[in-house]
Amino acid sequence: MKSEKKQLSKIFIIVGVSWTFFIALMIIYLTYQKYQQVQALALLEAKTSINKDIAYRKWVATHGGVYVPISKETQPNPYLKVKNRDLNTTTGLQLTLINPAYALRQMTEQYSSLYGIKSHLSSDKFINPKNAPDAWEKQSLQSLLKTKQDVYKFHTINNQKYLSYMTPFLVKEECMKCHGEQGYHIGDIRGALTITLPMDRYDDVFFKGLITTIIILLWVWILGLVSFRWGYRSSSSHIQEKIDLYEQNLFSLVSLIEQRDNYTAGHGQRVGEYSRLIAAQMGLSHSQQDELYRAGALHDIGKVAIPDSILLKPGALQPIERVLIEEHVNAGYNLLKRVDIFAAIAEIVRYHHERIDGSGYPNKLFGDSIPLTSQIMAVADCFDAMTTNRIYKARKSLNEALMELTSVRGIKFRADIIDAALIALAKISLEANHSQRPTTLLEMERFSYFYKDSLTGIYTYAYLNFLFFEPDFDQYKQLWLVNLGNISQFNKAYGWEKGDDLLKHYAQMLQEYYPQLPVIRFQGDDFIIFRKDDKVPQIEDLYAHWLKEVGITVTVSIITLDKETVRNLETLQSRLAKR
């Protein structure tokens, strides 16, 4: 689930970048839209202005021109050749005929000085020098003569931005009065009117609107990021809660296993840690390493389904017991796969006892049909088993365990996994308390299930197997072998049930006398007491008066314990046979 958290971080980064990219695109798009709107407004003003001029020109044309007093501003038009162009009134006022084009020029010059909008009449026929077109007008006139469509352009003149808009002057019937002699016909293009509109006002509107838009979008962007961040933290918190719950469940299950079987105490977590080290050495991802650690911690969870008589048995298992204990793999898999948070590690646990030569269980898989992670955990499990004290077998040293792994390289385990393990595990420190032996009172009582005599309640002969492998066995200096004589005669006289009661009471007496020492029932009528000192036994202490009353005798043999003569059960039996 830590991988989910990393994935969430990646998603948040992708969403944040995408959101930023989206806002940037919106700024670009709205900038373009606003620019288009400003141009559209400028075109609208240009069309409105030019239509006003055309309407004025039409009014003048429909009235055959306008007579105005001759003045400095309104001199007679030298290019207008019509009858009665200039008149004298009875009052002596001299009038001159202003044709539509002349009248329009007079009006637009006044309008330009007031509003900065320039109008210019141009023609492809240079009758009037003032109508001579500039470079853009000349080019536009050529297009206009062909299409009879308005022409416009946004351009820069003397470092100032302008909109130039040209519309054609079509010759109409009322125009023939003045221009009939010039060879024009109705419908011809007499020339064109160009409006040149400064764009500085529109640029100001554009930039002010753009800044407002950008500020709004930046706030939207920030609010979006804050929302994403809140969502990320909320989701991350939810995932963390799942991780915490996962960890609690994980270690609760581990604790459950350890309380049932003391051998697994620490074993699962060590296997998980060894698996993670090997996986890291092999270059597996962090998520795979984490999964391996958790799988290692729970790889023996299936043992909760195994009967105590098999699971906790300290000795070698019988074939049928071996078959039953191997079922812990399937039991663990079936348990884990039902829980969503453990489903990912269930497959690892399922195959961790398989071997590449097919000698493993439960499915006898070969080679690469075994998942890589399961094979890694199998090596880690084997290594920890070798470096942990067992009841009948002392643990191997670090170098011995690594050599043992080398011996099965490419046989039971993949060569590359063994190679990685030899490197990853070479520097670990083995704790001295890795042992299968019980330490707590509860563990001792559960452990003693296999060694307690059902009749007397003291240890059985089988307990010697465990005792000889105790690390502190050297503390025992001597062994007392206590033999009860005449038990068979007692049984004949009083019956077997009374004989059992006698043995039970005598065993209880020995335990009361020597509460801190191992007392063992040996070969039916004999008892063994291990001593930590060299004290000589006193028959009076071991020979109760009620034994004498029924004719039971007590003899004691002393065997000195040392590593040379008594180091295991076989050597003890040899010494007892010679007494």
Amino acid of residue 457 = G
The CA distance from 399 to 391, in Å, is 21
Structure tokens at 427: 């520097």
Cβ-defined contacts of 21-28 (< 8 Å, 24+): 23/217, 23/218, 23/220, 23/221, 23/224, 26/217, 27/213, 27/214, 27/217
Structure tokens at 416: 């590359």
Residue ranges, the chain, pLDDT below 70: 1-5, 114, 126-127, 174-184, 246-247, 250, 253-254, 257-265, 314-315, 390-394, 431-448, 471, 563-565, 567-568, 577-579
Residue of 102, 128, 417, 480 lying closest to 279 (CA atoms): 417
The residue length of the chain stands at 579
Rounded to a whole number, what is the distance in angstroms from the first to the last CA of the chain? 67
Distances (CA, A) of 58 to 54, 68, 179: 6, 17, 15
DSSP line for 292-331: HHHHHHHTTGGGGGS-HHHHT--SPPPHHHHHHHTTHHHH
Residue 41 pLDDT? 92
CB contact at 8 A, 201 and 117: no
Amino acid of residue 133 = P
The CA distance from 259 to 270, in Å, is 17
For residue 418, how far is the Cα from the chain centroid?
30
Residue of 576, 540, 577 lying closest to 558 (CA atoms): 576
Residue of 421, 377, 375 lying closest to 401 (CA atoms): 421
**Adjacency order of strands within the sheet including 151-157:** 118-122, 189-198, 160-170, 151-157
Q: Which domains are assigned to the chain? A: 261-424 (1.10.3210.10), 451-578 (3.30.70.270)
Structure tokens at 314: 């300290």
Residue with tokens 């200096």: 477
CB contact at 8 A, 118 and 136: no
Residue 231 pLDDT? 83
CB contact at 8 A, 434 and 395: yes
The CA distance from 301 to 330, in Å, is 10
Distances (CA, A) of 572 to 189, 256, 526, 565: 135, 39, 15, 8
CA dihedral of 429, 433, 437, 439, whole degrees rounded to 10: -150
Q: Is 378 exposed, middle or buried (0-12, 13-18, 19+ CB in 10 A)?
A: buried
CB contact at 8 A, 425 and 402: yes
List CB contacts of 115: < 8 A, sequence separation 6 or more: none
DSSP line for 129-169: GGG---HHHHHHHHHHHHH---EEEEEEETTEEEEEEEEEE
Residue 392 pLDDT? 60
The CA distance from 6 to 59, in Å, is 78
DSSP line for 487-501: HHHHHHHH-HHHHHH
- Buried (b) or exposed (e) across 353-367, using 16+ Cβ within 10 A? bbbbeeebbbeebee
Check residue 363 and report its DSSP letter: S
Distances (CA, A) of 57 to 51, 53, 66, 474: 10, 6, 11, 130
The CA distance from 281 to 270, in Å, is 17
Q: Which helix (H) or strand (E) holds 522?
A: strand 519-522
For residue 254, how far is the Cα from the chain centroid?
25
Structure tokens at 222: 């920030």
3-class secondary structure, 420: helix
Check residue 558 and report its DSSP letter: E
CA dihedral of 317, 329, 383, 474, whole degrees rounded to 10: -40
Cis peptide before 362 (omega within 30 of 0): yes
Is 0.85 surpassed by the pTM of this model?
no
Beta bridge partners of 195: 119, 165
Considering Cα of 44, then 48, then 53, then 58, what sign does the dihedral take? positive
Largest CA distance in the chain: 182
Structure tokens at 439: 């330490």
Considering Cα of 522, then 526, then 527, then 532, what sign does the dihedral take? negative
Structure tokens at 121: 């009449």
